[in-house]
Structure 1
Amino acid sequence: MTAGTTHSVRPADDAARQVDFARIRLFGRDVRWWVAILGMYAASRALTTVLMLALFVAEQVGHWVGGSPLAHPTFFTFSATWDASYYRRIAEDGYPTTLPVDSDGDVQQNPWAFLPLYPLLVRVLMTLTGLGFAPAGVLVATGFGAGAALMLYRVVASRVGATSGFWAAVFFCFGPLSFVLQLAYAESLFFFLMFGALWAMMSRRYWDVLLFGVAAAFTKPGELALPLALGIVFLVRLVRSRRGKETFRRRERAAMIVAGAVTAAAGLAWPLIASAVTGHPDAYVETELSWWTGFIGRVAFVPLTPWFLFTWRYASLAGALLVIAAIVGYVWLLRRPGIKALGIEVTAYAASYALYLFAVFLPQQSLFRLLLPLSPLAGAPGLTQNVRARSIVLAVGVALQPVALLLLWFLGYP
């Protein structure tokens, strides 16, 4: 499978350049980019569906006990387990006005940890079609997975060409955890919105960043990476303009400031909403902490400490040193020429999103799917334009899919 394009360059303005990526050369033919990406996405969903269906059949025939037993097992309910049960409760009944607590008065797991846009869209589809939550949830997720693949292609190809954009989308769709693109989870919608906001930022359509960002803020946690990235890009453009290296117009500055302020406010709104509805001042934070108790017990939330708390709990000093090494390694990665070729927007976004994960997330098995918003980094030309390297990555991704399915369905949760 090959992809290529003629890199005719057109300036977005005097400081930013984008390559023409309208067509992809695929199997010896020039194909419209969206046709190639959607065809590849369909092939990836066919493969993942076969693997999931095989696991579902094996579970039923062999009477395997999964980590989330199904009361009414079907392939759709198999694709709507784990956190999907909370989305179902939100879609069908909304959010509780009273938080569940245990005998010690600590908040227990509840739907307030999950944001409303995805279950709202599923509810709309359920109403229009009469479908139950599971099939409607899978359809919404799978549809937005296609949109995410299209947006990811545009993000990468606009800077480093169709070959890199195509292979970044391939890695995204055929990766070990690509099954989340068709689970009744909010992931696909979140990827679509975050990649869309990044694309708008790269195209300097800052009002569109606002629209994508506000929607993302009510889809999954992590949207706060966008206003931080926007702030970094603003400062870089300001310095360049003062050095005479590019034009930074007043209307662009105003749009960036407004978009950054609104998306930051949207990203901080859900804890306030949860507190207002439930009457509990820390409703959202304490709900999120209820998921931590099985790993490190009941603790207070202090930003920038979760990774150290987790690794120290299981590996003491060696764990803390591992976290430091991971930080240093990631900074080194972002400074590589291949990553820089993706543009300041991608680098700022990748740094901001990683900082968000480090600041607030407790690393456990969900970490791997929470890293998927960093998929634009897989478009680095050093990887995507090396035939051997990209073939190995693709093969490893496909080979690890059944492994991930088995581990997450029967030992952990996705």
Structure 2
Amino acid sequence: MPALLARRPWVAVLVVYLLSRVLSTGLLGSLFALATSQGWSFASDRADPTFFTFSGSWDASFYKTIAEQGYPTTLPKDDDGYVQSNPWAFLPVFPGIVKAIVAVTGLPFYTAGVLVATVFGFGAALMLYRLLALRVPRERALFAVAVFCVGPMGYLLQCAYAESAFLFFFFTALWCLMTRRYLLLIPFAVVAAFTRPGMLAFALTLGVHLVVRWRESRIRGGRLPVRDTLQIVFAGAVVTVAGLAWPWVATGVTGERDAYLDTELSWWVGYVGHQAFRPLTPWFTMAATWLSWPGVLLVLLALAAGAFWLTRRSTRELGHEIVGFTTSYWLYLVAVFLPQQSLFRLMMPVAPLLGSRLFSETRRRRVVVLVVAVVLQAVALIPLWFIGYP
């Protein structure tokens, strides 16, 4: 593998990815066969239970609705006038790509969705390797990719979900930022912004990058080139607009000012009841609702642990772009997201942290990390398939 990694790193990444797909497919298939033979109920029921519809469970049904029917012009509401769950919570890039594949091949939606997600999963793994290889030795970068692919959420790289597509576009945009290709990152970041929410954090990362480059230039006794300054500011402005655009689109189509926000809040009802949205409060609201004051203390401890991790030397060695995005993204999640089982899925964009030597400093540690990652993926499938989907 070291010789192959030196000559053709993309082949080494492909080998790792294919092996991880064998693992994930084996786990998914075994659990599906067992559940089917025993007549167990899935968290997301399917009228036609096959392995591909099984791999297209959870919110993938909304992507199917978008691909086949588009977005509703009228929001569904309950008897009290509250907006109910509907497709406006999901962005159009992934269902649009799958719809095109269905039109060309004639495949069922879920089959095409699994194939599209699996291909993008390899693209995400490759770009994760490429951006980490800019900061850490190749072997460590490849190990990080392996942990990413076999870890607890690794099976999502082949399920009919937008995750792998988002990660490919985002990792590519982050690689462009790290190599100072500021204009090239724009199309990837914009497409990512219409694939899954979260790119406002990347816009903030561009601001952090600008400040760091300006400071480094001053320390060296020089000045940041005007061209670079303008390109960073322009890219940041475009990404910000893209990150804010979807709520405007939802409002324009439905005619309701808070169409997107009310749709997102409809998923909160089962956890905390009907709530008005207040930034930076969802985690505390969830904790207080279920655990009272010990829950609030737990949130504060989690935030302190995150801050400690980001300030460790082993983390800072990854570069300010990765640390800056992770900080921005965690702030984004704390500001707008109600923490529940989907939190583990939404943490996948911070996978570059796996490049830290903390996970791979010794051979024994690498073995332990890989074994734990595989075991956690097997364990994660059970509650997410049968209790609550991510």
TM-score range, shorter chain: over 0.9
Residue 352 (structure 2) pairs with residue 373 (structure 1): no
Taking the aligned partners of 1:69 and 1:329, their CA distance within structure 2 comes to: 38
Name whichever structure is richer in helix by fraction. Answer: 2
What residue in structure 2 maps to residue 263 of structure 1?
A: 239
Per-residue CA deviations over 1:358-399 (Å, capped at 9, x if unaligned) read: 100000001001101100001012322322212111101111
Amino acid at match of 1:238: W
Shift of 1:193: 1.2
Q: What does residue 352 of structure 1 align with?
A: 328
Q: Which amino acid aligns with 1:242?
A: R
| Count of residues in correspondence between the two structures | 390
Structure-2 separation of matches of 1:246 and 1:285: 45
Q: Which structure 2 residues correspond to residues 2-401 of structure 1 after superposition, within 5 A?
A: 3=2, 24=5, 30-244=6-220, 248-401=224-377
2:386: which partner in 1? Answer: 410
What is the CA-CA distance between 1:406 and the residue it aligns to? 1.1
- Distance in 2 of aligned mates of 1:291 and 1:382: 36
| CA–CA distance in structure 1, aligned partners of residues 367 and 236 of structure 2 | 39
Q: Residue 246 of structure 1: CA displacement?
A: 6.4
Q: CA deviation at 1:138?
A: 0.5
| Structure 1 alignment gaps of length 5 or more | 5-22, 25-29
Query: For the residues of structure 1 that align with 2:306 and 2:164, how far apart are their CA atoms?
Result: 25
SS of equivalent to 2:183: helix
User: Which amino acid in the other structure matches residue 33 of structure 2?
Assistant: V
Structure 1 residue 325: deviation in Å? 1.0
1:257-301 per-residue CA deviation (whole Å, 9 max, x = no partner) reads: 100000000000000000110011100000000000000000000
Render the CA deviation track for 1:104-162: whole Å, top value 9, x for unaligned.
Answer: 00000000000000000001101111111001100110000000000111111111110
TM-score by length of 2: 0.98
CA deviation after TM superposition for structure 1 residue 31, in Å:
4.7
- Measured after TM superposition, the shift of residue 245 of structure 1 is 5.8
| Contact 1:307/1:363, CA 8 A, preserved across alignment | yes
**1:306 counterpart letter in structure 2:** P
Distance 1:113 1:245 in 2: 48
Give SS of 2:389's match. Answer: coil
Write the distance in 1 (CA, Å) between the matches of 2:195 and 2:367: 33
**CA spacing shift, 1:82–1:204, aligned 2, 3 Å:** same
Cα RMSD between the aligned structures? Answer: 1.2
Q: Distance in 2 between matches of 1:236 and 1:401?
A: 37
Give the Cα–Cα distance (whole angstroms) in 2 for the partners of residues 31 and 143 of structure 1. 23
- C-alpha separation between the residues in 2 aligned to 1:34 and 1:245? 39
Please give the alpha-carbon distance, in whole angstroms, between the structure 2 residues aligned to 1:260 and 1:371.
22
Q: Matches of 2:205 and 2:70 in 1, distance apart?
A: 33
Structure 2 stretches lacking a partner, 5+ long: none
Separation in structure 1 between the aligned mates of residue 118 and residue 199 of structure 2, nearest angstrom:
21
One-letter code aligned to 1:56: F
After superposing on structure 2, the runs of 4+ consecutive aligned residues of structure 1 that deviate more than 3 Å are: none
The alignment-based identity, stated in percent, is: 51
Distance, in Å, in 1 between the alignment partners of 2:293 and 2:222 is: 47
Shift of 1:247: 5.8
Measure how far apart 1:55 and its partner are. 1.0
